């Protein structure tokens, strides 16, 4: 039997590209028109006295894949909530397609570390939740097609509770994709998966992003994952974009010396503040 990854690859081509080189190139151009632009101009976010994002400037072109990294608590998830319109900025300007973000947008979807499936619903029903109208036979067809994209169409009628962690995340991805979002926000979606499943999922996400053309913003603690997937890696520190690095490697990316160069560049900057501001582990006396 073909692997789920191979099944999903065939489904992407069947559902997204049809056949023939001309149709493929036309659809790829269409895909690039499906992402939205995002602009943050001096954006600050405060919770009470605490400033989390501080005069943050960021410009994201339509259809780009952006990775956000930074230390725990630096404001990565806060930033995603602002982009989703789930929370409002304290000051500055935040626009998508040059329009201020005011509330939740119907063409924005989230994917979290926890798949958040309803265990009393089938796999197919869980995917249909991603559609705003979910009663029609058309919704059923769309949900089934989305499951094909992630290689899980054969599990459509099963309870979601019987799936493995990786399969649940693929259902979550299908649910995020089914409504054809223009902006997909990933909040550490692969953090709980084993290394091999994680690599499979990274490849799947990359391929679906390339064919669908949505703008992707990925929050991750994994520098290697950021370099593998992103057009640009942005490191947030003290509320600002401390680093904004275009990843110029060809796709799909392999872990060669170029890859290692970007990893090191980012890791070095990520580790610098702690080394400068605190006592190093070597200096600590653990003999207590």
Ligand X SMILES: Nc1ncnc2c1ncn2[C@@H]1O[C@H](COP(=O)(O)OP(=O)(O)OP(=O)(O)O)[C@@H](O)[C@H]1O
Sole binder of ligand X in the list 24, 51, 77, 97 (CB under 6 A): 77
> How many residues bind ligand X, per CB under 6 A?
10
The reply on whether position 74 binds ligand X by CB under 6 A is yes
Residue 74 or residue 185: which is nearer to ligand X going by CB? 74
Tell me whether residue 77 or residue 95 sits nearer to ligand X (CB atom).
77
**20 near ligand X, judged by CB under 6 A:** no
Near ligand X by CB under 6 A: residue from 52, 115, 139, 218 = 52
Q: Does 177 bind ligand X (CB under 6 A)?
A: no
Residue 153 or 217 with smaller CB distance to ligand X: 217
In angstroms, what is the minimal distance from the CB of 169 to ligand X? 18
47 binds ligand X per the rule CB under 6 A: yes
Nearest-approach distance from CB 50 to ligand X, in angstroms: 7
Q: Which stretch binds ligand X (CB under 6 A): 13-21, 76-84, 117-125, 265-273?
A: 76-84
Among 64, 76, 170, 253, binds ligand X (CB under 6 A): 76
Min dist. Cβ of residue 6 to ligand X (A):
34
Cβ nearer to ligand X, comparing 231 with 238: 238
Q: Cβ closer to ligand X: 163 or 190?
A: 190
Residue 274 contacts ligand X per CB under 6 A: no
Listed residue (83, 70, 139, 140) closest to 110, CA to CA: 83
72, 106, 277, 279: residue in contact with ligand X (rule CB under 6 A):
72
CB of residue 72 vs ligand X: minimum separation in angstroms? 3
Q: What angle do CA 173, 266, 50 make, to 5 degrees?
A: 75
Query: Are the C-beta atoms of residues 57 and 241 closer than 8 Å to each other?
Result: yes
75 binds ligand X, rule: CB under 6 A? yes
Mind spelling out the 3-state secondary structure of the chain? CCCHHHHHHHHHHHHHHCCCHHHHHHHHHHHHCCCCCEEEEEEEEEECCEEEEEEEEEEECCCCEEEEECCCCCCHHHHHHHHHCCCCCCEEEEEECCEECCCCCCCEEEEECCCCCCCCCEHHHHHHCCCCCCCCHHHHHHHHHHHHHCCCHHHCCCEHHHCCHHHHHHHHHHHHHCCCCCEEEEECCCCCCCHHHHHHHHHHHHHHHHHHCCEEEEECCCHHHHHHHCCEEEEEECCEEEEEEECCCCCCCCCCHHHHHHHHHHHHHHHHHHHHHCCCHHHCCCCC
**Pair of tokens at residue 22:** 């001309």
Residues 6+ apart with CB under 8 A from 20: none
Binding track, positions 205-244, relative to ligand X; x by CB under 6 A = ----------------------------------------
Q: Checking DSSP bridges between strand 232-237 and strand 215-219, what pairing results, if any?
A: unpaired
Of 75-83, 109-117, 118-126, 171-179, which part binds ligand X (CB under 6 A)? Answer: 75-83
Question: CB 45 → ligand X: shortest distance, Å?
Answer: 8
User: Rule CB under 6 A: which residues touch ligand X?
Assistant: 47, 52, 70, 72-78
């Amino acid at each position: 039997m073909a692997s789920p990854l191979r099944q999903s690859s065939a489904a992407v081509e069947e559902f997204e590209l049809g056949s023939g080189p001309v149709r493929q190139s036309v659809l790829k151009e269409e895909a690039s028109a499906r992402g939205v632009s995002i602009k943050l101009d001096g954006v600050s976010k405060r919770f009470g006295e605490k400033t989390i994002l501080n005069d943050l400037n960021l410009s994201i072109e339509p259809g780009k894949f952006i990775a956000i990294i930074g230390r725990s608590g630096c404001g990565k998830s806060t930033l995603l909530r602002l982009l989703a319109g789930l929370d409002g900025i304290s000051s500055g300007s935040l626009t998508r397609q040059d329009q201020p973000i005011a509330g939740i947008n119907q063409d924005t979807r989230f994917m979290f570390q926890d798949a958040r499936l309803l265990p009393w619903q089938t796999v197919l029903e869980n995917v249909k939740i991603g559609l705003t109208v979910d009663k029609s036979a058309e919704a059923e067809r769309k949900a089934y097609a989305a499951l094909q994209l992630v290689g899980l169409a054969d599990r459509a009628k099963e309870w979601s509770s019987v799936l493995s962690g990786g399969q649940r995340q693929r259902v979550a991805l299908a649910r995020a994709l089914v409504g054809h979002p223009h902006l997909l926000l990933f909040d550490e979606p692969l953090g709980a998966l084993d290394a091999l499943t994680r690599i499979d999922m990274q490849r799947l996400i990359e391929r679906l992003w390339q064919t669908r053309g949505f703008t992707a913003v990925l929050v991750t603690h994994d520098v290697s994952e950021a370099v593998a997937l992103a057009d640009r890696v942005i490191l947030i520190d003290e509320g600002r974009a401390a680093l904004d690095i275009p990843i110029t490697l060809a796709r799909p990316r392999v872990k060669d010396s170029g890859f290692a160069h970007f990893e090191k560049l980012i890791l070095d900057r990520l580790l610098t503040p702690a080394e400068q501001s605190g006592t190093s582990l070597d200096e600590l006396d653990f003999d207590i």
